[in-house]
Structure 1
Amino acid sequence: MLAENVEAEESHALPAFKVFAEKNVDFADALLSIKSKENMPVLTWDKKDFKKLDCEFSDDLV
């Protein structure tokens, strides 16, 4: 439980908020980076943010 009457619906939310704050990236990118650690690489146009994150990604969208 986060606070009285407040709960995170997803187990990835809190680690993603930490990455979001520490790396100065979009929250959605932070959340995807956390989820990608479960053997799910990310396909993105946003190389700038993902280069800051510890995750596997590809920008080969052709």
Structure 2
Amino acid sequence: MKDYLLGDGPANSVFLRAGNDVFHTYSAYARGLDLLNLPALFLDLTPFGRQEDWEDSPAGWPQKPTYG
């Protein structure tokens, strides 16, 4: 069976077993796991968001990550 573990970051994979057969049906990594991480959803509702490295904050907003 293929190893679906990729790196050290968060990941989630779903498999289906039908008899002796196993099927990989879904995988999500990093931001694709947001629905499983409730605190991150609350940060999305705040005015400054998550302040992640990749975000381009408008002038006057914090320019460095606040939460990570």
User: TM-score when scaled to structure 2?
Assistant: 0.29
Q: Which has the higher contact order (CA 8 A, sep 6+)?
A: 1
Q: Which of structures 1 and 2 has the bigger CA Rg?
A: 2
Structure having the larger proportion of residues in strand? 2
User: TM-score when scaled to structure 1?
Assistant: 0.30
Structure having the larger proportion of residues in helix? 1
